[in-house]
Structure 1
């Protein structure tokens, strides 16, 4: 769990990431299938969201724990996890939401357009977030 310094162990963070990723995979897949009656599109939305949660949730929890710890160093320098995967995970989650939104615009939803837009959003958030958090 957490040690004396208040840091959360990497094993617990990985377990939380896997759990949140599996839950988001299931929920977003179900939402995509129920809304659009298209299993492939729903699974694509679920995969983007699940992988994004797996990468983002552990990074967010470790960053929050580092911010709450009493230390003169900036929180970004104290966390063991790299900023890149966490920010990319946030981008993938936002990309999954973009895919859902695009599914409403086109009838039937275009898988290629949805996946391309999700990747563009994911990479865009990654580039912007990496620049902002590293500065």
Structure 2
């Protein structure tokens, strides 16, 4: 996408984040509750995923709008209004929620094991992403 196109407004990006967060909270909570038969585990997975979507999606859409064709990803992050930190943390939380579901399927829905594992994955994705974007 070229940078000559109009970039999305901050209000639009926030509405996009809220909408996607609500959808992911419902979807991931339903998957956790219906398949693992554990309400607290499903709510924790849905919460991680929802917060992650709220932080990641607006940053990524704004970044996609700011990129020029053939440009490095890290160079475009300088032109985005939103900081890369919350966006990367949001990506980590979404990946952590998926990891939490996978751990729940493999070992059973143990919240004391799944939540720290999901948060550890989130921090790991954040650290790797910040290193790759040179932040």
Same structural fold, with TM-score higher than 0.5 when normalized by the shorter chain: yes
CA RMSD, 1 decimal: 1.6
User: Counterparts of 1:1-135 in structure 2 under 5 Å?
Assistant: 6-68=6-68, 74-107=75-108, 109-134=109-134
TM-score (norm 2): 0.90
> What SS is found at the alignment partner of 2:67?
helix
Instruction: Identify unmatched segments of 5+ residues in structure 1.
Output: none
User: Is 2:5–2:65's contact at 8 Å kept on the other side of the alignment?
Assistant: no
Cα distance in 2, alignment partners of residues 112 and 90 from structure 1:
22
Instruction: Identify unmatched segments of 5+ residues in structure 2.
Output: none
Number of aligned residues? 128
Residue-by-residue CA offset, 1:93-112 (whole Å, 9 max, x unaligned): 000001100111123x1101
Runs of 4+ in 1 over 6 A off after TM superposition: none
Which 10-residue stretch deviates more, 98-107 or 50-59? Answer: 98-107
Higher relative contact order (CA 8 A, sep 6+): 2
Shift of 1:121: 0.3
Shift of 1:60: 0.4
User: Is 2:100–2:118's contact at 8 Å kept on the other side of the alignment?
Assistant: yes
Cα distance in 2, alignment partners of residues 13 and 54 from structure 1:
9
> What SS is found at the alignment partner of 1:8?
coil
Cα distance in 2, alignment partners of residues 17 and 63 from structure 1:
14
TM-score (norm 1): 0.90
